[in-house]
Amino acid sequence: MQTTELGHTGTQISRLALGAMQMGNATSEPDSIHILNRYLEIGGSFLDTADCYEWWATPGSRGGESEELLGRWLRAGNHRDEVFLATKGSALPVHSPELWAADGTPDWDRARRTFAGGGATVLRDALDGSLRRLGTDHVDLYYIHVDDRVTPLEETLETLAGFVRAGKVRHLGWSNVYTWRLERIRRLCSRHGWPLPVAVQQQHSYLRPNGSYVSVSNAEQLDYLAEHGDQTLVAYSPILKGIYDDPAKRAGHSAMSAYAGPDSDARLAALTSLAGDLGVTPNQLVLAWMMHQDAPTAIPLIGPRTIEQFEAAVPALDLKLTPEQLELLS
């Protein structure tokens, strides 16, 4: 497993990050532990979770199942010093029975209207809860999970700075955020001497978005991050729920809503052709392509639901692409 620097911090992080969103729910505890152990075995260390994972999986849940499972695994194997541990706050919705329909499906519209946000008290309580569930006195990276445009940025940033001063957090990050907000955050941090968020977690993949989606990194944001090497892009959903391997699966799939069009058709054709020439899957080729990017550097964050999905991603680590192959894909 190769590593790369997180921003300009001097801290090295794995070139492939492992997301634990489904661990403890869709992924059973035995399978989750198998994946975590296997990830360490191949040299990985960058683990990602959030306090809200996965409230939507069970009516009445307040999230935290993923953090609790990670906490048990960290303690059982004494793994805390072996991992770079990231979690997030601000995205847990206000509890209400109306968050779930009678059939148990979550009401995402209501959830998005009632996210906890980035207020000082909310974040303090969220971080303390995360530390308790994870069984640690600090996390290596703490994100604002959903950008809160109601709470003053000064309040959120000052609170986050306090977490760093207290030693509860080593580095800060921001997720699901527009580029103009990143610039405003940068200016406030510079003005007040607050620590700059050094990780930006967005949905990012090989396909280029065809519109402006706050959660998806567009051309402007990629250009901004390429100009500001002190912030590293952490790319969630890098293989868009696995749609690259299966034309039937991506037909009408919700993951394609931000990408569908002739540009994507051309890129899919190039990707599929090269994957066939190399004897790899398109999903593996997307992960390898992303790990070759340096303008900006992008850390693919995989979130396998099964052991088989995890193992299917591993060969991407050994796939070396030539400049000509990278140019073809671009």
Percent of the chain scored above 70 by pLDDT?
Answer: 100
- Which among 211, 210, 209, 187 is positioned nearest to 197, based on CA atoms? 187
Residue 269 lies in a domain: no
Q: What is the mean pLDDT of the chain?
A: 96
Residue 330 lies in a domain: no
What confidence score (pLDDT) does residue 206 get? 97
Q: Is residue 264 part of a domain?
A: no
Strand (E) or helix (H) holding 302: strand 298-302
Identify the pLDDT of residue 71: 98
Q: Is the pLDDT of residue 212 over 90?
A: no
Give CA separation, 244 vs 140, 251, 253, 282, in Å: 32, 11, 11, 6
- Domain total of the chain: 1
The answer to whether residue 155 sits within a structural domain is yes
Would you say residue 109 lies in a domain? yes
Domain that includes residue 30, residue range: 3-240+286-320
Tokens at 127, concatenated: 């971080």
- Tell me how far apart the alpha carbons of residues 136 and 311 are, in angstroms, rounded to a whole number: 29
Across 122-146, average pLDDT: 98
Of 4-13, 164-173, 245-254, 264-273, which range is least confident?
245-254
Q: Whole-model pTM?
A: 0.96
**CATH number where 198 lies:** 3.20.20.100
Residue 180 above 90 pLDDT?
yes
Does a structural domain hold residue 132? yes
Looking at the domain assignment, is residue 143 inside a domain?
A: yes
Q: Does a structural domain hold residue 218?
A: yes
Which three-class secondary structure state does DSSP give residue 33? helix
pLDDT of amino acid 108 = 94
Going by pLDDT thresholds of 50, 70 and 90, the confidence category of residue 78 is very high
Provide the phi-psi class of 60: left if phi over 0, else alpha when psi is between -120 and 50, else beta: left
pLDDT at 211 over 90: no
- 251: pLDDT confidence band, cut at 50, 70 and 90? confident
Using the predicted structure, report yes or no on whether residue 252 has a pLDDT greater than 90: no
What is d(CA 321, CA 153) in angstroms, rounded to the nearest whole number?
Answer: 41
